A = this chain, B = another copy of it.
Amino acid sequence: MKKVNLTEKFNLFDEHWSPRIVGELNGQYVKLAKVKGEFVWHSHANEDELFLVIKGTLKIEFRDGSITLNEGEFYIVPKGVEHKPIADEEAHILLLEPKSTEQTGGVESDLLVDNQPWI
């Protein structure tokens, strides 16, 4: 494996809500995503999911509140918890989640990406 430079990897794609895989360890993937607008309400039955903001601001709505993450802040959404990520302006985020994680937790959506490629 080579080292991963986050800025260089983010420069390789522009699509929103289309995570790229940049690392793998202990059955988990490290992913990078550019996000803008609203994602769909969903949960992951068996997977905790970490969101670390590299650039911009990410809001995560829950059924009983919300949290706003700025650059250098992370939050771990526990398995089974419904959430909806939102970004008013484009944000760059690092995700960490098990390889088994489905992007929308089984919820149908036009935003669903069938194949998340390595870059």
Instruction: Write the residues of chain A forming the contact surface with B, with a CB cutoff of 8 angstroms.
Output: 1, 3-7, 23-28, 30, 47-50, 54, 67, 69, 72-76, 78, 96-98
Chain A residues touching B, majority SS: strand
Beyond the given pairs A1-B78, A3-B75, 20 more chain A to chain B contacts, judged by CB atoms under 8 angstroms and listed by A's residue number, are: A1-B75, A3-B69, A3-B73, A4-B73, A5-B73, A6-B72, A6-B73, A6-B74, A7-B72, A23-B50, A23-B74, A23-B76, A25-B50, A26-B27, A26-B47, A26-B97, A26-B98, A30-B50, A30-B76, A96-B96
> Which residues of the other chain, B, contact A49 by a CB distance below 8 angstroms?
25
> Which residues of the other chain, B, contact A76 by a CB distance below 8 angstroms?
1, 23-25, 30
